[in-house]
């Protein structure tokens, strides 16, 4: 019985010491998970930024929810537990600000839309005017996908929308529009330059003319009801820092000064 008590005391002591050591190693901080809803066009850049951030902030885990900005906005309105929102358009973001759901805001990045075609395409599509030679054209659904909204604006501005509308295949987000072109399921698509830049199976046929669509601005902000305001602010600030901005620029985004 005496040995049993001694063994029990030793085990308890070991548990206490281990717990103290773990607390010291982690600075006494518990692991925090932040949920960031972000436009899918940011996916590759944000995942690389997350890896760097988590190396420097070991108690914080970043979970991304990627999708079309309009879809993400609706999820937030319906009460999805989100700490930060990173949109590919201002209008969807502004509605959350107006509803007092977001209180911290920064317009961080810019982008461009381009016309792309499959690399092995034999069709004469070297400009937006060449879309008459396409039988199927992919863009994001304008009501929920900002890239689709910009594409719609540009095509209307160029007087092409009525001609190409019957050929349009609507995608749930800009990445799906890109995939349609990469797979050859459509003859052309309109996506962000950042998506086209890293696609091995497509090439840029033309850039949307300057002024043919609204300025492409990516705003981000912290939700008012976040349960982790300090840690959310830490990641929010990190996204604006030099290391994160270098990664964004590597993926083709433009900084907004």
- Note whether residue 192 is domain-resident: yes
Q: How confident is the model at residue 29 (pLDDT cuts 50, 70, 90)?
A: low
Structural domain harbouring 53 = 30-110+217-255
pLDDT score for 147: 96
Same domain, 46 and 168: no
Q: 170 in helix, strand or coil?
A: strand
Pairing mode of beta strands 84-86, 32-39: parallel
pLDDT score for 4: 44
188 labeled part of a ligand binding site? no
Same domain, 187 and 231: no
41 labeled part of a ligand binding site? yes
Same domain, 171 and 183: yes
- Note whether residue 135 is domain-resident: yes
Same domain, 81 and 145: no
- Note whether residue 4 is domain-resident: no
Segment (H or E) for 137: strand 137-140
- Note whether residue 22 is domain-resident: no
Q: What is the mean pLDDT of the chain?
A: 90
Same domain, 132 and 249: no
Number of domains comprising the chain: 2
178 in Cβ contact with 192 (< 8 Å): no
- Note whether residue 91 is domain-resident: yes
What the block records as the tokens of 208 is: 């949307």
Domain's final residue, options 207, 227, 247: 207
- Note whether residue 2 is domain-resident: no
Whether the per-residue pLDDT at 11 is higher than 70: the answer is: no
- Kindly report the backbone phi and psi dihedral angles of residue 41, in degrees, each rounded to the nearest multiple of 5, phi listed first: -65, -15
pLDDT score for 196: 94
Is 143 or 1 the better-scoring residue by pLDDT? 143
Sheet holding 60-67, edge to edge: 60-67, 32-39, 84-86, 217-223, 102-110, 254-255
Same domain, 230 and 199: no
Same domain, 105 and 120: no
147 labeled part of a ligand binding site? yes
Same domain, 99 and 222: yes
- Note whether residue 145 is domain-resident: yes
pLDDT score for 120: 85
Distance CA 244, CA 130 (A): 38
What the block records as the tokens of 223 is: 């939700």
pLDDT score for 30: 66
Tokens 């951030």 correspond to 53
Tokens 């773990």 correspond to 22
Distance CA 182, CA 203 (A): 9
Same domain, 104 and 119: no
Q: What average pLDDT does range 30-43 have in this prediction? A: 94
207 in Cβ contact with 114 (< 8 Å): yes
What the block records as the tokens of 37 is: 């809803």
Name beta bridge partners: 67: 39
Which string of b and e fits 248-257 if b means at least 16 CB within 10 Å? beebbbbeee
236 labeled part of a ligand binding site? no
What the block records as the tokens of 178 is: 């890109």
Distance CA 191, CA 114 (A): 6
Tokens 């990627």 correspond to 66
What does the DSSP 8-state code read for residue 189?
A: E
Whether the per-residue pLDDT at 2 is higher than 90: the answer is: no
Same domain, 65 and 130: no
208 in Cβ contact with 111 (< 8 Å): no
pLDDT score for 92: 92
pLDDT score for 194: 95
Phi-psi region of 12 (alpha: psi -120 to 50; beta: other; left: phi over 0): alpha
Distance CA 225, CA 16 (A): 36
Q: How confident is the model at residue 220 (pLDDT cuts 50, 70, 90)?
A: very high
Q: What is the pLDDT of residues 168-218, one digit of tens each?
A: 999 999 999 999 999 999 999 999 999 998 899 999 999 999 999 999 999
**CATH (domain of 45):** 3.40.190.10
Same domain, 46 and 57: yes
Whether the per-residue pLDDT at 22 is higher than 50: the answer is: no
Q: What is the pLDDT of residues 99-130, one digit of tens each?
A: 999 989 999 999 999 999 999 899 999 999 99
Whether the per-residue pLDDT at 90 is higher than 90: the answer is: yes
- Note whether residue 181 is domain-resident: yes
pLDDT score for 59: 94
Q: What is the pLDDT of residues 51-79, one digit of tens each?
A: 999 999 999 999 999 999 999 999 999 99
69 labeled part of a ligand binding site? yes
Same domain, 167 and 193: yes
pLDDT score for 69: 95
């Amino acid at each position: 019985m005496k040995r049993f008590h001694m063994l029990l005391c030793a085990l308890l002591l070991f548990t206490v010491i281990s717990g103290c050591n773990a607390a010291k190693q982690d600075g006494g901080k518990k692991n925090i998970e932040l949920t960031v809803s972000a436009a899918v066009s940011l996916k590759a850049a944000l995942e690389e930024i997350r890896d760097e951030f988590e190396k420097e902030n070991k108690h914080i885990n970043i979970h991304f929810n990627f999708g079309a900005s309009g879809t993400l906005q609706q999820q937030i309105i319906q009460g999805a537990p989100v700490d930060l929102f990173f949109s590919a358009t201002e209008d969807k973001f502004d509605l959350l600000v107006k509803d007092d759901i977001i209180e911290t805001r920064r317009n961080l990045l810019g982008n461009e839309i381009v016309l792309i075609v499959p690399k092995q395409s034999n069709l004469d599509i070297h400009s937006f005017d060449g879309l008459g030679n396409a039988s199927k054209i992919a863009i994001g659904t304008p009501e929920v996908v900002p890239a689709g909204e910009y594409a719609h604006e540009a095509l209307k501005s160029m007087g092409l929308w009525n001609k190409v509308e019957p050929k349009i295949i609507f995608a749930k987000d800009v990445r799906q529009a890109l995939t349609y072109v990469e797979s050859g399921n459509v003859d052309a698509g309109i996506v962000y330059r950042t998506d086209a830049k890293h696609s091995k199976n497509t090439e840029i046929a033309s850039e949307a003319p300057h002024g043919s669509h609204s300025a492409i601005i990516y705003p981000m902000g912290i939700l008012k009801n976040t349960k982790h305001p300090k840690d959310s602010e830490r990641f929010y600030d990190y996204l604006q820092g030099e290391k994160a901005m270098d990664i964004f620029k590597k993926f083709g985004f433009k900084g907004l000064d």
